[in-house]
């Protein structure tokens, strides 16, 4: 019954200097099933997929397609075998149309000219068959993230791929788009496509997958039928211990006002309207206030305004009584710490080693630089090693590891270590758990609560409903640049929060 499997990766072992990324891993993908691949960051999921795509060669193990052993030396080989992948970060040409992106690389031409009519018919047929709604003539830069993802899926289907890999596809989607994607995946499987679904979101795996294989620290832990398991068991397999899926915390004991925002307005870079419109709120010491909302409703600009990355168009921001409305970033950071939304864009200098990144917000302090302007390399190293140890930041070569080579979760941990350890009264954390696994999420939530209990004011910006409900003491909902509701997570339901987020409900909020 070898043909039962569309693709098999048997006993794969892949080593890197100082680390075994995949240690005897076996994954068997049945035809027409949705097979989840679950693991923490750094568990070896990406490496395994890179092996499947021929980006890396495994030292041991074989890959079989339809029961026959195959050799995959480069991505073209993978493509020839009908393996396609939707990457977490889309590989689309921004200024091309949806159709152009789909046919890119496999264009049909006549006499050097593109023949798009045929391609368009095929794309429309595919999109109808699988319920993938796209506008073939819209430019990528103008369409939603959800539609961009559907474009990626159509790219695979257009190439007649039979084995579809989704690499953490829901990380960038809104709740409604996630539901839609789940349905699409089920449709695809029903049509006989085999799907490998890489994720660490347990509820999604429970909803959509047939079977689930779990990796932990490069090792293969096992494969289970979803019908016979539950979230607790999966998380135990993934993390190796029992995980608290819901953060427990004492009631908040709010103290004095730390952050006071009055009439804050921030201009938008994308359109002529203001991204943040006349927003006022306060955050007190010892409480976690969460800004909830669907992505793109002004949360990013709100944080930019607070941290100084964008100037305020109007309004006043004070931190512990000090007016910082026009203060430069360096002065603001004396009182606040900022876990940025985009760790690659703002949070890290990826080409710097880890220790240099850990002092990114304090390299200029007396303890790290002498009077003549020379860095104290030893002190920096020592401090970094202390934080690496304390916050369990894992990397190949410790403090001298280049940040770029670290896994996303550990990069985030390094940022969190840096921001929490530096003196501050206010912590602004923007989507601190984005793209992380349950183990790391649990850890970060505990850190945020510990911050609160240590008497810091915490402003959390999150798109995850569960996170909003679990961690915060107070919820402010943002919709189209305004705060449309203030809710108490203890007395509010997820549904009600959803209504506010969608703009269907609003109340007058007095700050």
Partner 1 sequence: MSGKKRFLEYGAVQAILAAVLCIIAGLFIGFIVLLLINPAGAWNGIVTIVKNFLNYPSKPAALKYLGNTLVKTAPLLMCALSINFCYKTGLFNIGAAGQYVVGAGACLYAALGLKMPWYVCILFAMVAGALWGCLVGLLKAYANVNEVIAGIMLNWIGLYLVNMLLSRVKEQASPYTEQISAVNSAALLPTMGLDTLFTKNKYVTLAVPLAILIAIVIWVVLNKTLFGYEVRATGFNKEAARYAGMNEKRNVVLTLVIGGMLAALGAAFLYLSGYEQWSCTQSSVPAMGFNGIAATFLGGLNPIGTIFSSYFIQHITSGGSYLDKSIYPSQISDLITAIIIYLCGFVLFFKLSLNKYLAAKKESASGRNREEGGKAS
Interface with partner 1 (CB under 8 A), residue from 397, 405, 492, 499: 397
Rounded to a whole number of angstroms, the minimum distance from the CB of residue 57 to partner 1 is 5
Binding segment for partner 1 among 130-138, 285-293, 369-377, 475-483 (CB under 8 A)? 369-377
Rounded to a whole number of angstroms, the minimum distance from the CB of residue 89 to partner 1 is 17
C-beta of 17 vs 111, nearer to partner 1: 17
Instruction: Residue 236: count other Cβ atoms within 10 Å of its Cβ.
Output: 15
Q: Is residue 363 involved in binding partner 1 (CB under 8 A)? A: yes
Here the contacts of 503-507 (C-beta below 8 Å, separation 24 or greater) are: 503/479, 506/479
Q: Is residue 374 involved in binding partner 1 (CB under 8 A)? A: yes
b/e sequence 401-422, b meaning 16+ C-beta within 10 Å: bbbeebbbbbbbbbbbbbbbbb
C-beta of 279 vs 333, nearer to partner 1: 333
Ranges of H-type helices in 115-199: 116-130, 145-158, 175-190
- The whole-angstrom distance between residue 369's C-alpha and the CA centroid of its chain comes to 35
Rounded CA separation 52/65 (Å): 11
Interface with partner 1 (CB under 8 A), residue from 15, 122, 316, 505: 15
Pair 285, 457: CB distance under 8 Å: yes
Sign of CA dihedral 357, 360, 362, 367: positive
C-beta of 201 vs 343, nearer to partner 1: 343
- The whole-angstrom distance between residue 388's C-alpha and the CA centroid of its chain comes to 22
Rounded CA separation 189/187 (Å): 5
Rounded to a whole number of angstroms, the minimum distance from the CB of residue 201 to partner 1 is 28
Rounded to a whole number of angstroms, the minimum distance from the CB of residue 10 to partner 1 is 16
Q: Is residue 340 involved in binding partner 1 (CB under 8 A)? A: yes
**Using CB under 8 A, which residues numbered 466 to 485 contact partner 1?**
none
Q: Residues in contact with partner 1, total (CB under 8 A)?
A: 36
Q: Is residue 328 involved in binding partner 1 (CB under 8 A)? A: yes
Q: Is residue 349 involved in binding partner 1 (CB under 8 A)? A: yes
Binding segment for partner 1 among 23-31, 146-154, 243-251, 359-367 (CB under 8 A)? 359-367
Rounded CA separation 178/279 (Å): 30
**Using CB under 8 A, which residues numbered 48 to 107 contact partner 1?**
56-57, 59
Which residue is associated with the tokens 């794309």?
123
Using only the alpha carbons of the chain, give its radius of gyration.
24
Q: Is residue 373 involved in binding partner 1 (CB under 8 A)? A: yes
Q: Is residue 371 involved in binding partner 1 (CB under 8 A)? A: no
Rounded CA separation 361/148 (Å): 35
Strand 163-167 with 83-86, pairing: parallel
Under DSSP, the state recorded for 251 is P
Rounded to a whole number of angstroms, the minimum distance from the CB of residue 379 to partner 1 is 13
Element (H, E) at 386: helix 377-390
- The whole-angstrom distance between residue 431's C-alpha and the CA centroid of its chain comes to 8
Rounded to a whole number of angstroms, the minimum distance from the CB of residue 368 to partner 1 is 8
Pair 55, 3: CB distance under 8 Å: no
Q: Is residue 350 involved in binding partner 1 (CB under 8 A)? A: yes
Q: Is residue 346 involved in binding partner 1 (CB under 8 A)? A: yes
C-beta of 320 vs 397, nearer to partner 1: 397
Residues making contact with partner 1 (CB under 8 A): 15, 17-18, 56-57, 59, 307, 309, 328-333, 338, 340, 345-352, 356, 360-361, 363-364, 369, 373-375, 377, 396-397
């Amino acid at each position: 019954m070898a043909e039962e499997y569309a693709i098999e990766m048997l006993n794969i072992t892949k080593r890197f200097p100082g680390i075994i990324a995949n240690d005897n891993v076996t994954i068997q993908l049945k035809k027409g099933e949705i097979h989840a691949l679950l693991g923490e960051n750094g568990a070896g999921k990406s490496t395994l997929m890179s092996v499947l795509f021929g980006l890396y060669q495994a030292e041991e193990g074989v890959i079989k397609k339809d029961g026959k052993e195959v050799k995959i030396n480069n991505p073209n080989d993978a493509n020839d075998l009908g393996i396609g992948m939707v990457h977490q970060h889309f590989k689309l040409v921004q200024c091309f149309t949806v159709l152009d992106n789909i046919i890119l690389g496999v264009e049909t031409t006549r006499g050097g000219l593109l023949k798009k009519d045929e391609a368009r018919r095929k794309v429309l047929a595919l999109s109808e068959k699988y319920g993938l709604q796209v506008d073939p003539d819209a430019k990528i830069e103008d369409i939603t993230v959800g539609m961009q993802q559907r474009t990626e899926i159509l790219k695979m289907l257009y190439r007649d791929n039979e084995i579809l890999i989704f690499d953490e596809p829901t990380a960038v989607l809104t709740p409604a788009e996630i539901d839609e994607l789940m349905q699409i995946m089920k449709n695809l499987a029903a049509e006989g496509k085999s799907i490998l679904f890489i994720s660490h979101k347990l509820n999604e795996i429970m909803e959509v997958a047939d079977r689930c294989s779990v990796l932990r620290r490069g090792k293969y832990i096992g494969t289970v039928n979803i019908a016979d398991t539950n979230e607790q068991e999966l998380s135990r397999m993934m993390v190796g211990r029992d995980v608290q899926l819901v953060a427990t915390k004492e009631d908040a004991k709010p103290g004095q006002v730390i952050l006071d925002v009055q009439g804050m307005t921030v201009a938008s870079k994308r359109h002529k309207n203001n991204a943040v419109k006349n927003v006022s709120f306060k955050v007190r010491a010892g409480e976690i206030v969460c800004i909830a909302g669907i992505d793109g409703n002004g949360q990013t600009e709100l944080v930019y305004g607070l941290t100084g990355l964008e100037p305020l168009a109007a309004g006043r921001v004070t931190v512990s009584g000090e007016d910082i409305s026009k203060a430069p970033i360096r002065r603001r950071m004396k009182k606040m710490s900022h876990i940025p939304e985009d760790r690659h864009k703002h949070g890290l200098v990826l080409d710097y080693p880890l220790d240099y990144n850990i002092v990114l917000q304090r390299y200029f302090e007396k303890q790290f630089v002498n009077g003549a302007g020379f860095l104290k390399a030893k002190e920096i190293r020592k401090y970094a090693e202390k934080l690496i140890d304390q916050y369990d930041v894992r990397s190949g070569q410790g403090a001298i590891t280049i940040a770029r080579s670290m896994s996303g979760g550990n990069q985030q941990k390094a940022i969190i270590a840096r921001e929490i350890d530096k003196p501050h009264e206010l912590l602004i954390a923007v989507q601190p758990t984005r793209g992380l696994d349950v183990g790391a999420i649990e850890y970060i939530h505990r850190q945020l609560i510990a911050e609160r209990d240590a008497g810091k004011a915490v402003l959390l910006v999150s798109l995850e409903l569960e996170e909003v409900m679990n961690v915060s003491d107070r919820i402010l909902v943002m919709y189209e640049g305004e705060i449309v509701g203030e809710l108490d997570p203890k007395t509010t339901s997820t549904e009600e929060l959803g209504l506010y987020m969608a703009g269907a409900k609003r109340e007058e909020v007095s700050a």
